[in-house]
Structure 1
Amino acid sequence: MTDQPISSTPSLETLPEQSPESFESALKTLENIVQKMEQGELSLDESLQHFEQGVQLTRYCQTILHDAEQRISTLMNDGTKDVYSPPSHR
């Protein structure tokens, strides 16, 4: 192994363990991670850190989407046929 300095990229252990501000924020971060990894310029350690973060964000997004699907399903099955009525145009 070569004696390269350890990356200044924070490890996942040092990152705050909080959810992203929003689904959109998580998705944007995922897009950035994919872009960095596709460039192929990250070290193995950096790639693994980005991959781990990407997996966490993917799980977060999947949870948000699942919850949204459940809410929609509940609304659609609550006995009403017309959940949303667009305003009539005269």
Structure 2
Amino acid sequence: MPKKKSSTPFEESLAELEQLVSQLEQGDITLEESLKSFERGVYLTRTCRQALQEAEQKVQILLEKNGSQSLEPFTDE
């Protein structure tokens, strides 16, 4: 049976994190709100990092299954 994830999707977490950073950079919120936003941002950062690590592991597994043992660096050309 597939494992259900209760967390928000990566894209939503990243969008919320970007919004929090923007709020904090503007400096229009109270110290208490800033601390809550920072705490939420740390949580979202960890969630995004974990999702990226899981995706990287899946890619590595798929490459190994296809007989390709070496990864090539990504170039943006």
- Kindly report the root-mean-square deviation, in angstroms, between the aligned alpha carbons of the 2 structures: 1.2
TM-score (norm 2): 0.76
Question: In 2, distance between residues paired with 1:73 and 1:45?
Answer: 42
Aligned residues: 63
| TM-score in terms of structure 1 length | 0.66
Whose Rg is larger?
1
**1:80: how far off?**
2.5
Higher helix residue share: 2
1:60 aligns with 2:47: yes
Letter in 1 for 2:7: S
Structure 2: any 5+ residue segments left out of the alignment?
A: 1-5, 69-77
* Aligned amino acid, residue 78 of structure 1: K
Identical-residue share of aligned pairs (%): 43
Matching residue of 2:12:
25
